[in-house]
Amino acid sequence: MREHQTQVRKTAEDLMKTGKARLFIGYTEGLEAARPVAFFLKDPERAGALVLNEFCGAGLAKYVLDEAVSPDALSGEPLPPVAIVAKGCDALGLERLMADNRVPRDELYIIGIACHGIVDPGKVLEVTGEEPVSAQVEKDHVAVMTTRGSHRLAKAGCLMDKCLTCEDPTPRVYDVLLGDPVQEGPAGKRDFSGVTQVESLSPDERYEFWARQFQRCLRCFACRNVCPACNCSVCSLDEREPEWLSRSTDLPEQFMFHFTRAYHVAGRCVACGECQRACPVGIPLMLLNEKFMKDIRDLFGEPAPHRPSEVEPLGKFCPDDPEGWLKEAETA
């Protein structure tokens, strides 16, 4: 991915200088080499601060909600679009925002990045005991340079979790694509093995599993704030009158929060994994989202329930919709 960094800088500079974009959202260096952060470029002379490498994993899609507002509030004139760098997962998030009518397509200029996988610096540190400084995703492995030397690591051991089940390494929507399209994710398709494992537990065991997870929740709302499917103008969970969710972090309230969030994005989650990536205590939140994806796939025959469509499976009614749950309720 680093090989496209020069193109990203040149594209950003050209778009800003020609007035074809009023803002460019990309990445820049963070406090650590392997942890780049979001960058909002308004001055084309600063395009050289943009970076693109195998650690640029944080999703950028949600930021356009704050920036893609047109026309100009004072003049009423249409504004140039917001330009944004988008890997396949980022582009799915943008599709979600467009499908939900939160951001018009013509207010975005999408620089698509064909992605071979993003390296998780935490996994590299865990495996090698050393901080990574650069990486290159190869066909069968990942070449990682750390503060003390070089390593050849298996993809499954160092790529971000979301990359291991990625089905859309190439953005489905873009204005310009950097790199040749990538047909398959770095480690195969989503098999819902984690969901299947939890489903195999007894009801009591499942409760204990999730209770252990939710007891660690800080209620920081990072999972909600980064999620492109959690895009309501006002979140009901922030409301104080009526107060749908108390500020208490006791276990029943934690279950309430996480189940509410999961049901809210059911059938709309794009599998970008941002909720799980952003969680500071490592709660496996994608297990909840994938449970809904798996059920939608099995019950509605939707092979890729994470891809936004004009009408989602849970957003329409058909006479032949699966209703096994109803029969179970009638016989209970």
Chain-centroid distance of CA 154 in Å reads: 23
pLDDT given at position 1: 82
Three-state DSSP class for residue 324: helix
Alpha-carbon distance of 21 to 245, in angstroms, equals: 40
Buried b (16+ CB within 10 A) or exposed e, 252-284: ebbebbbeebbebbbbbbbbbbbbbbbbeeebb
pLDDT of residue 248: 84
> pLDDT truncated to tens, each residue of the chain (332 aa)?
888 999 999 999 999 999 999 999 999 999 998 999 999 999 999 999 999 999 999 999 999 998 766 566 566 677 899 999 999 999 999 999 999 999 999 999 999 999 999 999 999 999 999 999 999 999 889 999 998 999 999 998 999 999 998 999 999 999 999 989 988 766 667 889 999 999 999 999 999 999 999 999 999 999 999 999 999 988 888 888 888 888 888 999 999 999 999 999 999 999 999 999 999 999 999 999 999 999 999 988 888 999 998 888 788 788 777 777 666 666 66
| Calpha distance 53→113 (Å, rounded) | 11
Phi, psi of 192 (to 5 degrees): 55, 30
Pairing of strands 176-178, 108-113: parallel
d(C-alpha 159, C-alpha 149), whole Å: 19
- DSSP symbols for 184-230: S-TT-----HHHHHHHTS-HHHHHHHHHHHHTT-----HHHHH-TT-
The pLDDT of residue 57 is 94
- CB-based contacts of 136: which residues, under 8 Å, 6+ apart? 2, 54, 142, 143
Dist. CA 218–CA 43, nearest whole Å: 37
pLDDT at site 188 = 63
Q: Which residues lie across from 146 on neighbouring strands? A: 132
Phi, psi of 24 (to 5 degrees): -125, 120
Taken in order 54, 60, 61, 62, is the CA torsion positive or negative? positive
CA–CA separation, 160 and 276 (whole Å): 10
Cα-only R_g, the chain: 21
